[in-house]
Structure 1
Amino acid sequence: MSKLRPVALRCEHHLAPMGLNRSAPRFDWALEGDGLDRRQSAWQIVVRNGGKVLWDSGKVPSAETHQIQYAGIALASDLTLGWSLTVWDENDQPSDPVDAAPFRTGLMSQDDWQAQWIARYFVLPAGREAPSDNPYDNKWQARPADHLRRDFSASEKPVRASAYVTALGLYELYINGARVGDAVMAPGWTDYHQRVEYQSYDVTDLVDSGENTIGAMLGEGWYSGRVGHNQRRAGNHYGGRPALLCQLHLEYADGRVERVVTDEHWKTVQGPVCYSDFLMGEQYDARLEMPGWAEPGYDTSRWQPVEVFTPDPRAPHLEASRAPQVRETVRFPGKYLHKAKTGGHIYDLGQNIAGYCELELSGQSGDRFTLRHGEILDGEGELYVANLRHAVATDHYIAKGEGREKFKPRFTFHGFRYVELTLPAGVSPADVTLTGIAIHNDLPVTGAMRTGSDMVNQLLSNIEWSQRDNFLSVPTDCPQRDERYGWAADAQVFWKTSGYVMDVSAFLEKWFEDIAEAQLPDGAFTDVAPSKPLNPYRLTAQPGAPGWGDAPVIMAWQHWLRYGDKALVEKHFDRLVAWLKHIADANPDHLRVNAVYNNYGDWLSIGPASDRTMVATAYWVLVADLMAKLSAVVDRTDMVAHYEAQATAVRTAFLAAFVGDDGIIKGDTQTAYLLALDFSILPPDLHAKAAAHLLRKLDEADGHLQTGFLGVKHLCPVLSDIGAPDRAYDLLFNETYPSWGFSIRQGATTIWERWDGWTEEKGFQSVNMNSFNHYAYGAVGEWLYARAAGIDWDEAAPGYSTIRMRPLFDRRLGWVDAHYDAPTGRVESQWRIEGDLVTWTIAVPPNCEAAIALVKAPASLTAGDKATAVPGAQFTLGSGRYTLTVPL
């Protein structure tokens, strides 16, 4: 038997955090090891700063692998630390020590910052002519990107150099001409009036002895560029110009530390990025390039001084970035299709992405290459862009005419699969190479699943890509049109699915800060976060609707179940309490009727509309139940009884107002029964009647779904729980409208916003709201992983220390091969149907157990390579690899 092995060592949910917001960081790890019933009996963590040990925990008898808090010498700012881990197994045998990736403390106090905010003056300096394509001449008034730089001298080669940088807007950092880091769209979106996240970089290899230069480029991004669909004021939500804050620490062999900071010694100029805007696109004139602009010795006689200023209305709080940065992740070669009626040339990436194109080309000086982006083609093969609304989504490149040239945008992104490339005279598609580049927060991929159905495999791919395309600084609704908000209900219905696909722990910690900052004084959470761009003319943000404002409660609970992370719940618990008080104060009769907030109901449902007050009240039952559970998590026992009583009162009101003695719920919709059943609102007799009515509603819809955003996630789980898993599979395999399969049959590579985004009878839906990249309906992914594959969390043992395994075998699916890298280790589930038997193989990581629940007892059970007795249809297995044969 091999030694137990710790793997996936994480600090603050990161493999290598580059900056801390906690003086006592938390450590996690997973385990590997062959054999059966493997357990961790003890652990030891050692944290070092160079050769100095800051914390040696010693051997700690414990099976815990989650959220182990640092307890050593107080950590200072600007440190690079390493940590190692040893674990002991069930026989008290130690593992080999494992070194984790180094991490940085960053600048943990506002007092650590000596840098000042700098930006270009609002007016061009005297004698400076704007380039001919400057956006001062265009109707959008998008701004050129700023170049900033300053020279500095290092008395010798530093032994360590660290850069801490952020922006109001977007930035790229350069030292001696070399780009620092690989992040794009940094520092990300926050409410810049309250908080800005900074990034930390090790730049030791880039700084030389003697003369050096540090430079940056600034784009508008979310700060002063266009976000949202209010075109009267789509930009300048936070300020009128981008700004930079940067601090470079140079540490020498003798211990001296010098700092180079943003101050009045920097200079600025505009260059080849004539404008760059999320909705409009980017124009780049290569003739205006400034070779060597970020290198020593460059002539800055035409550059202007920067302005040092304090952002209005206040300098934002500075914190280290919480989530992995947005990066370029996957490249897709563009396939040439045909020439468009417009004269442009249509390319297909084969995948709907969020990102931009890279062009490799040859041309004459002044040649213009134009890229228009769209998600779909119309019936005549032309680029369809009407659904982008006011988003122009067009990039321009003006060649310098010096051999082979390359272009990709810096400060914009688009949602697209198809590209229309307009070429200058004399250039053909054969002279151009077009590549699509997907960007998103570079979250670790944690799950993979394949099945015997090509359609289901495409659905799984569509779910993953809708998540990739919309997890960009915040979980957006869509990446293509003039919106791109962090809508809360879209996220909460999808959140369990998202955690199977990627590690969303750090991503949610970041977004929860946005949610918290947007909360209103009366306790109301908002529909979107960050909230400012949604209604720029309101004095306060838009309060959250039922299902939208409820999202923080739901996601906090799911975060606890998936990661066993109590800290997020503890930090934001009082905010959750304020939200429940907001609901209760507005609705003293325990029916959620008071419209002090929006009520979207079951948004974008097909068929009969659900009663909105019924939906709202059902959600109140859910969040009251969850608050009772969360109160227990954080040891607020005084609140448990309060929320249990509230949930009971709201259930009683729901039954009296909406449910008949025959079990029919007001509105008589699929969603009405789904919510009542999944939220455990009904007593047993009515539960059975409601289940029968749900099946009736499916029959009346000819076996089709009729749910919207709030109902969709409950369809397959509820059908499975009421003993009708075949009906869940019927919905899964349906390929006629409305269904997941219908969009796939139309060539979809991402999840559509609407079931009827396009139909054979009506063509495209209204251009006012018709995204082809919206993850909400992809919430079926949680059922695919949890029930089709059989990998689910257990509420009694958060963090996947117990894996609940209740697979539902179906001959139409044929086989499943799935794994999930849980916080505790890799869980595997593979099954295949042959004749009337299912062969099911599972792997349970060390330190865990699997709670097995099958419809029929297995015919055989092999543990490792040895047959063992079959314990029945429900039983528990320790860690290891098992093979079961199960009657179908």
Structure 2
Amino acid sequence: MLKVKALRCEHLNNPMGLGCLQPRLSWQIESDKMYVSQKRFQLQVSLNPTFEPLLWNHFSYSDQSILFPYEGPPLESGQRYYYRVKVWAQGAGDTEPEESEWSESGYWEMGLLHEQDWKAQWITVKERSIHEQFQTRAPFAASKCFSVEGKVKKAVIYATSLGLYELELNGQRVGDAYFTPGWTDYNDRVQVQAYDVTSTLREQHNRITATVGEGWYSGYLGWQKRKDTYGNTNALLFQMKISYEDGRSEVICSDSSWEEASCAILMSDIYNGEIYDARLEQQQAVEHSPLTERKMMQVVPFPLSHLIAQENEPVRVMNRLKPVELIRTPKGELVLNLGQNMVGWLEFKVEAPEGTVLNLVHGEVLDQQGNFYRDNIRDAAQQITYICSGKGTEIFRPHFTFQGFQYVKLEGFPDSIAIEDFTGVVLHSDMEPVGLFETSDPKLNQLQHNIVWGQKGNFLDVPTDCPQRDERLGWTGDAQIFARTASFNMNAASFFRKWLKDLAYNQLENGAVPFVVPDVLKGTFADNMDKTTAAWGDAAVICPWTIYQCYGDKQILAQQYDSMKAWVDYIRAQGNEECLWDTGLQLGDWLALDSEEGSYFGATDGTLVATAYFAYSTHILAQTAKLLNRYTDYNTYRSLHEGIKAAFANRYFDDAGKLTSNTQTAQVVALHFGLVPEKYKKQVIQELVSLIEKNDMHLDTGFVGTPYLCLVLSDNGYTDVAYKILFQNDYPSWLYQVERGATTMWEHWDSIKVDGSFWSTDMNSFNHYSYGSVGDFMYQNIAGIDVLEAGYKKSRLAPKPPANLTSARGKLETPYGALEVHWKIVNEEMQMTVLVPHNTTAKITLPGVMEPDALQQTIATQYPSIQYPPDNVPQELAGKLGSAGEQAIFQRSEDHEMTFTVGSGQYAFQYRYCQATQVPAHATRG
């Protein structure tokens, strides 16, 4: 039976407070048939869930089922729109398309679209206390009491702040989002959240309370202890529209009639933590006594033109972890072990006398002696101080701060405290999990776990480098090398779209892209480095392209096109020659192991890396221009790309075909970015393998070389060498971290050295996702899942089973539905199942086919819609795929592979398996 399911609007499920004027709608097809493709669809939009009357009724002969733009009448502020879809799709054996029933309805609700829609004013308190130790401003609370006059049909709050805010209505927390309004460049963009609070309103005596902290707006940012990056006045903007059943409406707005309320939070800072005095909570009960002096809020100016709707999924509570042990260290300190390096808070309950001071100090690891360690956190206090009220059992969680930690030192707690009194509350951007990767090797599964948890810890509204020390910044280089892996694990489309808008706003007039976005390093060390560098600034081009490939979202290319072009033009102006980037200070292969002692810079020539990225970004820009029908630009940048390739070969290859930087990374980037002249390709890949062999089959790459190392080896016929590197478990390797008990990715290959000591205290994060970019390789090669047409309209399913695995499973929830590969080897027999989403096709490559003729005959019997031509066409066999009318080309390779194209459906293959011949690690291929 044909069904339509999984309706989405702008990648989101029933979003509220939307700001785009032409939302794009997506859906998936469910059917028990194979080779199902959509032939036409009908899309209806209405103001009513009954779809009477219709606002827009669209019918189209099209197979498009993702990101179809609304083209009905103009949308109105605050209005909810319902939509539903019906499709006609044809499957194997159908002579005519089958018609589905209407889908269940979805909806989107618009935010306040115009500046004139706002009646509220920005408000703040007249005086704020300054915490003496941390020199931070205390959060403030503001409240408003009101009544409603009649039966409420709907009530929606629109709120934002300069700082971070939380709302309570009648004692209940409003919404489940944290760290609102999110981190943007507040000089240009301040997000607004929308909340439906209809069920929380009372007829009389309603009270709204807002608490506002410094957050990213004015709190500490960066390791140089800078404050007030965007301003020194935190403020609230609040507007609630109440619609009555009789057609009336009224608006409750923030203005000077709001009162200051008591606040028990004495200090709350992202880096330093929070101080909370529960004794102050009792003041809230008496603050409206006639004897209490009322303190009114004051209005402050700030442009309403900066307001934008929420663009990405907000931060929410995503996991709750129970600690695994409560220990006394050799020093006698009481330390809680969560068992997982996590980001968020420690929630606890306690009974203690009034005035008891509790301290919770957060760290990532224990030292060699088993003692609590936090030197790598640098100057971020990461401490929660709670002063007990003494009123029975007290439960606490912080407000405007988060910590990165696995271990918590507990100070001041009563002897009766138990491990059950604590819960780790995990917070990150609420991106839908879309990927699954598991194998027969527990250590490799732990590596995948570490990659995912590194993403959880660092995708908190922006892609941070680390979540614990006095940094936590949106480093552009880390984001671009991890973007593809991130998209295998979670739906990161909206997350990157929002962040990339800030990147464009932060881009300099000459096109340079800052090291971090939002850019808070202005006036710091970045000024001494031309404010930008290759691989980091290239996020402006690589990230939009990656999101387009993974989600089929061409609009992100249009959104970012001027930024992409400006970046390439900036590079073009930097070199001594037009087609080289050979000037300025480059970070190059950052933290590579082939660096000189005491240096963070790898041995690879920084200008070689810069010119290679120049070529790569130029190539992407040319392809983007072509997709957007900008053919003049396409021809310009295609020609520029050819010039860069030629200049790269002339500058960085000698007459014998050797690269001037004889490093692993130099070979990797030259090969991966397509910069090796054809006559040198065999020589360059062999040199890469030779360098790996000389390093005892280990890598020595840094931030630039590592993401592409295994991919380059596999793409050039050395998959066995890639697996040899991947499965190493001594230093340096990914599994070395696993062997040392890591639960997230490390910043350095030797963050913990072989002897148990630490690499450094300066830059030694144990939750730093960059090297987790190997997840991309594992999905593409072990599971075998890759994209051939943007959004997985056409996919590649081609696993390359490692010799030491007996099974693997990869699953990816694409925009069209689940794409899955599951293979296992039992008694020299390959058992492989494949799931291809409807309305897509897949190119399948079966590995290790020992008896191709027998397998072809089996497939023909099992799937009669695939018809084979006579056996006398041994190398390339073409057959019609049933009524789908497509052609499947069956190809056999010397590596015992069989490749063919299929339509949607589930397939099972079972055949005698031939493990590809493995070349000994010490051998050199000729």
- TM-score of the two chains, using structure 2 as the length reference: 0.90
Task: Give the aligned partner of residue 874 of structure 2.
Answer: none
Alignment of 1:387-426 (within 5 A): 387-424=376-413, 426=414
Percent identity of paired positions between Structure 1 and Structure 2: 36
1:595 is displaced (CA, Å) by 4.0
Contact 1:560 1:569 in 2 (8 A): yes
SS in 2 for 1:247: strand
Task: Give the aligned partner of residue 910 of structure 2.
Answer: 885
Matched, 1:784 2:809: no
Q: Using a 3 Å threshold, how does the CA distance of structure 1 residues 287 and 299 change in structure 2: closer, same or farther?
A: farther
Task: Give the aligned partner of residue 874 of structure 1.
Answer: 899
Task: Give the aligned partner of residue 607 of structure 1.
Answer: 594
User: Residue type matched to 1:479 in 2?
Assistant: P
Task: Give the aligned partner of residue 103 of structure 2.
Answer: 98
Instruction: Return the match for 1:509 from 491, 497, 510.
Output: 497
User: Residue type matched to 1:377 in 2?
Assistant: L
1:817 is displaced (CA, Å) by 1.5
Alignment of 1:371-520 (within 5 A): 371-424=360-413, 426-430=414-418, 433-520=421-508
Residue by residue over 1:101-123, the C-alpha shift from the partner in whole angstroms, topping out at 9 and shown as x without a partner, is 432101111221111111112x3
SS in 1 for 2:418: helix
Matched, 1:691 2:685: yes
1:58 is displaced (CA, Å) by 3.8
Residue by residue over 1:256-304, the C-alpha shift from the partner in whole angstroms, topping out at 9 and shown as x without a partner, is 22111110101114421110001111011111114766x9977793441
SS in 2 for 1:102: strand
User: Residue type matched to 1:659 in 2?
Assistant: F
Q: Using a 3 Å threshold, how does the CA distance of structure 1 residues 297 and 8 change in structure 2: closer, same or farther?
A: farther
Task: Give the aligned partner of residue 211 of structure 2.
Answer: 217
Q: Using a 3 Å threshold, how does the CA distance of structure 1 residues 864 and 80 change in structure 2: closer, same or farther?
A: farther
Task: Give the aligned partner of residue 71 of structure 1.
Answer: 71
Alignment of 1:296-311 (within 5 A): 301-311=292-302
Q: Using a 3 Å threshold, how does the CA distance of structure 1 residues 307 and 817 change in structure 2: closer, same or farther?
A: same
Contact 2:843 2:899 in 1 (8 A): yes
Q: Using a 3 Å threshold, how does the CA distance of structure 1 residues 316 and 666 change in structure 2: closer, same or farther?
A: farther
Matched, 1:543 2:531: yes
Q: Using a 3 Å threshold, how does the CA distance of structure 1 residues 863 and 331 change in structure 2: closer, same or farther?
A: farther
Instruction: Return the match for 2:312 from 309, 320, 323.
Output: 323
Instruction: Return the match for 2:516 from 517, 528, 533.
Output: 528
Residue by residue over 1:781-816, the C-alpha shift from the partner in whole angstroms, topping out at 9 and shown as x without a partner, is 01111111011111xx21111011221012312101
Structure-2 separation of matches of 1:526 and 1:238: 17
Contact 1:285 1:398 in 2 (8 A): yes
Structure-2 separation of matches of 1:298 and 1:735: 67
User: Residue type matched to 2:574 in 1?
Assistant: A
Deviates more, 1:90-99 or 1:872-881: 90-99
User: Residue type matched to 2:251 in 1?
Assistant: R
User: Residue type matched to 1:257 in 2?
Assistant: S
Q: Using a 3 Å threshold, how does the CA distance of structure 1 residues 862 and 372 change in structure 2: closer, same or farther?
A: farther
User: Residue type matched to 1:29 in 2?
Assistant: W
Structure-2 separation of matches of 1:77 and 1:41: 34
Q: Using a 3 Å threshold, how does the CA distance of structure 1 residues 343 and 169 change in structure 2: closer, same or farther?
A: farther
1:379 is displaced (CA, Å) by 1.0
Structure-2 separation of matches of 1:317 and 1:864: 63
1:394 is displaced (CA, Å) by 0.5
Structure-2 separation of matches of 1:306 and 1:537: 39
Contact 1:164 1:246 in 2 (8 A): yes
1:507 is displaced (CA, Å) by 0.5
Contact 2:810 2:820 in 1 (8 A): yes
Matched, 1:113 2:118: yes
Task: Give the aligned partner of residue 800 of structure 2.
Answer: 808
Q: Using a 3 Å threshold, how does the CA distance of structure 1 residues 719 and 363 change in structure 2: closer, same or farther?
A: same
User: Residue type matched to 1:218 in 2?
Assistant: V
Q: Using a 3 Å threshold, how does the CA distance of structure 1 residues 146 and 539 change in structure 2: closer, same or farther?
A: farther
SS in 2 for 1:429: coil
Task: Give the aligned partner of residue 747 of structure 1.
Answer: 741
Alignment of 1:843-854 (within 5 A): 843-854=835-846
1:629 is displaced (CA, Å) by 0.4
1:470 is displaced (CA, Å) by 0.4
Structure-1 separation of matches of 2:230 and 2:256: 23
Q: Using a 3 Å threshold, how does the CA distance of structure 1 residues 147 and 810 change in structure 2: closer, same or farther?
A: same
Instruction: Return the match for 2:544 from 556, 561, 565.
Output: 556
Contact 1:372 1:395 in 2 (8 A): yes
Alignment of 1:670-689 (within 5 A): 670-689=664-683
SS in 2 for 1:57: strand
1:884 is displaced (CA, Å) by 1.9
- Can you give the 5+ residue segments of structure 1 that lack an aligned partner in the other structure? 125-129
Q: Using a 3 Å threshold, how does the CA distance of structure 1 residues 541 and 226 change in structure 2: closer, same or farther?
A: farther
Contact 1:280 1:394 in 2 (8 A): yes
Matched, 1:702 2:696: yes
Structure-1 separation of matches of 2:250 and 2:284: 25
Deviates more, 1:32-41 or 1:478-487: 32-41
SS in 2 for 1:185: coil
Q: Using a 3 Å threshold, how does the CA distance of structure 1 residues 747 and 535 change in structure 2: closer, same or farther?
A: farther
Contact 1:811 1:833 in 2 (8 A): no
1:542 is displaced (CA, Å) by 6.5
Alignment of 1:581-600 (within 5 A): 581-587=569-575, 589-590=577-578, 592-593=580-581, 595=583, 598-600=585-587
Task: Give the aligned partner of residue 59 of structure 1.
Answer: 59
SS in 1 for 2:425: strand
User: Residue type matched to 2:800 in 1?
Assistant: L
Deviates more, 1:558-567 or 1:741-750: 558-567
Task: Give the aligned partner of residue 248 of structure 1.
Answer: 240
Matched, 1:731 2:725: yes
Contact 1:448 1:818 in 2 (8 A): yes
1:33 is displaced (CA, Å) by 1.9
Task: Give the aligned partner of residue 132 of structure 2.
Answer: 137
SS in 1 for 2:17: coil
1:209 is displaced (CA, Å) by 1.8
Task: Give the aligned partner of residue 279 of structure 2.
Answer: 287
Residue by residue over 1:612-654, the C-alpha shift from the partner in whole angstroms, topping out at 9 and shown as x without a partner, is 0101111111011111101111110111111111111111111
- Can you give the 5+ residue segments of structure 2 that lack an aligned partner in the other structure? 91-95, 596-602, 869-889, 892-897, 915-926
1:696 is displaced (CA, Å) by 0.3
Residue by residue over 1:118-171, the C-alpha shift from the partner in whole angstroms, topping out at 9 and shown as x without a partner, is 1112x35xxxxx7xxxx5332x11222211101122111311100000111111
User: Residue type matched to 2:153 in 1?
Assistant: V
Structure-1 separation of matches of 2:530 and 2:306: 23
Residue by residue over 1:43-95, the C-alpha shift from the partner in whole angstroms, topping out at 9 and shown as x without a partner, is 12211212554533343221101221111121100112221111121142222
Q: Using a 3 Å threshold, how does the CA distance of structure 1 residues 431 and 718 change in structure 2: closer, same or farther?
A: closer
Structure-2 separation of matches of 1:606 and 1:23: 50
Alignment of 1:54-203 (within 5 A): 54-90=54-90, 91-121=96-126, 123=127, 136-138=131-133, 140-203=134-197
User: Residue type matched to 1:63 in 2?
Assistant: D
Contact 1:326 1:442 in 2 (8 A): yes
Contact 2:5 2:104 in 1 (8 A): no
Deviates more, 1:17-26 or 1:480-489: 17-26
1:341 is displaced (CA, Å) by 5.3
SS in 1 for 2:26: strand
How many pairs align? Answer: 866
Contact 1:336 1:345 in 2 (8 A): no
Q: What do you get for the CA RMSD once the two structures are aligned?
A: 2.1
Contact 2:262 2:280 in 1 (8 A): no
Contact 2:221 2:520 in 1 (8 A): no
Q: Using a 3 Å threshold, how does the CA distance of structure 1 residues 303 and 66 change in structure 2: closer, same or farther?
A: same
SS in 2 for 1:736: coil
